[in-house]
């Protein structure tokens, strides 16, 4: 990709994720990049086309991530158990939520979703619909394999994901993504996952004893 065009995209994403799309002007972008406005319009029709390019790249990356996770489900042996959760959560955390590009996009979506219906749809899709659907599939597969027992895979997915979403809001989408924020998120998210599965195992054991 042309160096100037990529620089425009990078700077635009930085500004959009900090201030929101609506609050940033083409002039703001040009000032940060160090170019004239005519240079922006050489590469992009308008500010909306810059956003469209950024979102297109994000959705392509997010779709590829989901395909990787779906393939992991197909390739997993019947005895994967909690290890699959660790692997998929690592992929979801490190390659998605903590990835510099994806994280900035999610912060941008978090800001703009209140005033843009299309942005709201994208936000809901990649923050709720896709993750919960995938997690429900994993619970269903684990239940079928006899590794865990759950009467409602979708509800189990919500129970697992809700605290993670809370931690995301607390540390990943509340300003600059620092190393300290990343570490706080990792510690709390992985501790929650571990406790979640311990509690599930304890409940299964209690049922077996009664």
- The end-to-end CA distance of the chain, in Å, is 64
Q: Is 140 helix (H, G, I), strand (E, B) or coil?
A: helix
Q: Give tens-digit pLDDT for 61-103.
A: 999 999 988 887 777 655 455 567 777 888 899 999 999 999 9
Predicted pLDDT at 43:
95
Q: Is the pLDDT of residue 206 over 60?
A: no
pTM attached to this predicted model: 0.88
What is the rounded CA–CA span in Å between residue 174 and residue 177?
8
* Phi/psi of residue 14, nearest 5 degrees: -60, -50
What is the rounded CA–CA span in Å between residue 43 and residue 50?
9
Residue predicted with more confidence, 201 or 24? 24
What is the rounded CA–CA span in Å between residue 96 and residue 77?
25
What is the rounded CA–CA span in Å between residue 205 and residue 148?
10
Looking at 80-178, list the stretches that DSSP marks H as alpha helix, in order from N- to C-terminal side: 82-92, 100-112, 117-124, 130-144, 153-167
Q: Give tens-digit pLDDT for 126-138.
A: 999 999 999 999 8
* Secondary structure of 41-60 in HEC code, one letter for each residue: HHHCCCHHHHHHHHHHHHHH
What is the rounded CA–CA span in Å between residue 67 and residue 63?
6
């Amino acid at each position: 990709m042309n160096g100037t065009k990529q620089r425009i995209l990078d700077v635009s994403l930085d500004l959009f994720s900090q201030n929101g799309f609506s609050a940033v002007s083409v002039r703001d972008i040009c000032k940060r990049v160090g170019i004239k406005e005519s240079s922006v319009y050489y590469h992009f029709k308008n500010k909306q086309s810059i956003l469209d390019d950024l979102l297109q790249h994000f959705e392509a990356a997010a779709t590829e991530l989901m395909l990787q996770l779906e393939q992991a489900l197909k390739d997993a042996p019947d005895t994967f158990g909690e290890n699959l959760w660790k692997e998929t959560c690592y992929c979801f955390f490190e390659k998605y939520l903590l990835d510099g590009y994806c994280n900035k996009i999610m912060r941008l979506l978090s800001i703009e979703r209140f005033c843009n219906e299309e942005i709201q749809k994208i936000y809901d899709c990649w923050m709720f619909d896709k993750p919960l659907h995938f997690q429900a599939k994993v619970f269903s597969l684990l239940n079928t394999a006899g590794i865990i027992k759950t009467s409602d895979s979708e509800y189990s997915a919500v129970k697992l994901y809700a605290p993670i979403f809370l931690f995301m809001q607390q540390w990943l989408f509340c300003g600059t993504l620092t190393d300290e924020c990343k570490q706080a998120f990792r510690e709390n998210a992985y501790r929650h996952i571990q406790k979640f599965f311990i509690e599930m195992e304890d409940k299964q054991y209690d049922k077996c004893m009664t």
